[in-house]
Amino acid sequence: MVETLSIAVIGAPGVGKTSIIRQFIYNDFSEVYTPTRSRYVYRPSVILNGNMYELKILDVPPISSFPSSSSQEWLDLRCRGVRNANAYILVYDICCVESFEYVKMIRQQIVEHREGSSSEVPILVVGNKRDLQRQRFMPRRAVSVLVKKTWKCGYVECSAKFNWHVVLLFKELLGIAVARGMRQNHTSIRLQGALQRNRCTIM
């Protein structure tokens, strides 16, 4: 049976969540901004250290808060599956301080409301739009120290537009998730042909 890992991708409007996911899976980027209005699930397959994993990537629309209970999660269609994800990618725009404050809030709520041992749930904070480096609101090192030392989360910067560090951030997160044994029930999912060439292999 193939291991399944559920990853919730969360962020404020316009930070590039969907662009990061689509670059990773389809090697595709659109200059046209289309807001994410409903929850969307991608199911690519990857190989990490010789093992195949089915990913269930949840592209989560902007939510006002992380669901504090299972009932709240199921009342809001946008949040379905968010509380039980194996790992989280929290995306912000390196040029927008408000998007970083949103990630800060969501991370704190995950720690407070997540079922089980929240400290063991892998959280990767991702600063997108690195191609707009000169417009950033805070030096990279300052953000990295805050996220890694204070929040105890992983940190990666990327550019969805130029496909820079996109594969790296998923490799980073998967490595942490697999190492910590964050696993869901084994399920048989039809192998998707979306990841091709070296894109289906994360080494």
Are 85 and 6 within 8 A, CB to CB?
Answer: yes
pLDDT surpassing 70 at residue 196: no
Q: What share of the chain is helix, strand, coil (3-state, %, to 5)?
A: 35, 25, 40
SS3 58: strand
Asked, for residue 199, whether it belongs to a domain, the answer is no
Count of structural domains, the chain: 1
Its domain, for residue 105, covers 1-185
User: Average pLDDT of the chain?
Assistant: 85
CATH number of the domain that 84 lies in? 3.40.50.300
Q: Which residue has the higher pLDDT, 112 or 95?
A: 95
Contact in structure between 152 and 118 (CB atoms under 8 Å): no
In-domain check, residue 198: no
| pTM of the shown model | 0.86
3-state secondary structure (DSSP) of residue 146: helix
Give the DSSP H/E element, type plus range, for residue 176.
helix 166-179
Residue 137's contacts (CB-CB under 8 Å, 6 or more residues apart) are 94, 95, 96, 97, 100
Domain for residue 194, yes or no?
no
The pLDDT tens digits of the residues spanning 132-182 come to 999 999 999 999 999 999 999 999 999 999 999 999 999 999 988 887 764
Question: pLDDT tens digits for 107-121?
Answer: 999 998 875 554 578
Sorted by sequence, the CB contacts under 8 Å of residue 9 that are 6+ apart come out as 17, 20, 21, 57, 58, 59, 60, 88, 89, 91
